[in-house]
Amino acid sequence: MLRRHAIASLLAAGAWGKGIERFFEGAHGAGVLVDRKTRRLIAAHAPELAGGSAAPPGSTLKPLVLNALLERGRLRAGETFPCPHDLRVGGRSFDCSHPPLGAPLTVRTAIAYSCNCFVAHYASRFHAGELGSEMERWGLVSRTNWFGEREATGRVWNAPVELQSLGEDGVLVTPASLAMAYCRLLSRAAPAILAGMADAVEFGTAQRARVTGLTVAGKTGSVRTPAGVYLAWFAGFTEAAVVSVMLQAKSGGGDAAPIAGRILEAQWKGQL
């Protein structure tokens, strides 16, 4: 589990790779850029943190959760759900932050707008232990082997399925393992999942990852650890690369997405 002193020591380790540290502009965090087809690490910033420390992934988990439900036949892409906005789980509030929408949500729009209510509602269709098994299948608790023997693994444990599906409890991931999970997702993602992540960048929560002339898709996440540390996440992809970014900040869309967009743009332009 990340704690303030651990984050400070890891962040002090500096950067590694082909210069993506410049896109962080002093922000405290880590990132990895991966070749989408070969799954080869292209570059990393703060590798001790990117591959060595696990944290709650927040809403970056939602595409994986919904794709697993679709694969298991527990959810249809066209099913609709009117978001009630208010969501309380275990005495905590997880109210949706997206604006009121004029129509019920589908898988595609739930990802685009990061609807907590939609994901928590359908996650209840998992049988006991199934969601944890899915996370293991995505490789969230496995080493990527990008950072040698010191690389850490994520963790999965029993937690209320609603909180687990939102990446708030019952799961810890490293930026590296999240990037690898997205590589695996892209090999078999349902069309609605891919469309939802593209929409997130086009008009949803991840608009600040947009790059003119380049098709970018992805998912934001914002979470507060039990130690009180705010983390901002973005995981996404282009036709050529997958990126994950984690920052000590409050907004996945406002803080992590712009950095990820700049990294993907540089890779597209051959600057990495």
Residue pLDDT, tens place only, 122-131: 999 999 999 9
Name the pTM for this structure. Answer: 0.92
User: Using 50, 70 and 90 to split pLDDT, how confident is the model at 53?
Assistant: confident
Q: Is the pLDDT of residue 21 over 90?
A: yes
Averaged over 34-55, what is the pLDDT?
95
Please report how many Cα atoms fall inside a 13 Å half-sphere around the Cα of residue 146, on the Cβ side: 32
pLDDT at 4: 42
Task: Tell me which residue of 212, 246, 250 sits closest to 229, measured CA to CA.
Answer: 250
63-121: per-residue pLDDT in tens?
999 999 999 999 999 999 999 999 999 899 999 999 999 899 999 999 999 999 999 99
Distance CA 85, CA 114 (A): 12
Percent of the chain residues topping a pLDDT of 90: 89
Per-residue pLDDT at 18 = 54
What pLDDT was estimated at residue 19? Answer: 77
- Residue 10 confidence (pLDDT): 38
The confidence score (pLDDT) of residue 155 equals 96
Q: Which pLDDT band, with edges at 50, 70 and 90, does 151 fall under?
A: very high
Decide if pLDDT at 9 tops 60.
no
Taking 60 as the threshold, does the pLDDT of residue 62 lie above it?
Answer: yes
Mean pLDDT over each residue of the chain, to the nearest integer: 92
**CA-CA distance, 43 to 35, in Å (whole number)?**
10
Domains and CATH numbers, the chain: 4-268 (3.40.710.10)
Q: Examine the pLDDT at 228 and tell me if it is beyond 60.
A: yes
How confident is residue 247, by pLDDT bands cut at 50, 70 and 90? very high
Which burial class, exposed, middle or buried, applies to 230 when counting CB atoms under 10 A from its CB (0-12, 13-18, 19+)?
Answer: middle
What share of the chain has pLDDT > 70, as a percent?
93
**Among 16-20, 108-112, 200-204, which is the least confidently predicted range?**
16-20
Work out the pLDDT band at 11, boundaries 50, 70, 90.
Answer: very low
Over residues 164-179, the mean pLDDT reads 97
Q: How far is CA 250 from the centre of its chain?
A: 14
Residues 6+ apart with CB under 8 A from 57: 140, 167, 171, 172, 173, 178, 221, 223, 233
SS3 (DSSP) at 50:
helix
